[in-house]
Amino acid sequence: MSLASSLRRLLLGNQRPPLQYTVRDKIRTASGGIVAEPPKVPFGIVGVVCTVISGLLIGAAISKNIANFLEENDLFVPSDDDDDDD
């Protein structure tokens, strides 16, 4: 008997440790058969474009609001002195 099993029995008594699910449990049934493949959801180019555009618009709105907040509270105020192009 190994040390780990002895410690487990000492700490848990006769209780079994909680079941640990593995990938194999998710692809096989209890009787050993293979679970059917889940249905595929078509996600075309229109869905990708809508997702990207909405993400860009939401990100731009959030960054605009944060920039306004920082400028109103004088945490970050861009100055014209930083332009050393001359």
Considering the entire predicted model, what is its pTM? 0.45
Query: For the chain, which residues make up each domain, given as ranges?
Result: 42-78
pLDDT for the residue numbered 40? 87
Q: Tell me the C-alpha to C-alpha distance, in Å, between residue 79 and each of 70, 74, 82.
A: 14, 12, 6
pLDDT for the residue numbered 81? 64
Q: Tell me the C-alpha to C-alpha distance, in Å, between residue 65 and each of 39, 69, 82.
A: 41, 6, 23
Stronger pLDDT, 20 or 63, i.e. the higher one: 63
Using CA atoms, how far apart are residues 42 and 50, in angstroms rounded to an integer? 14
Q: What is the pLDDT of residues 4-54, one digit of tens each?
A: 777 777 776 655 555 555 555 677 777 878 888 888 888 789 999 999 999
pLDDT band per the 50, 70, 90 thresholds, residue 62: very high
Pull the structure tokens for residue 33: 């058969």
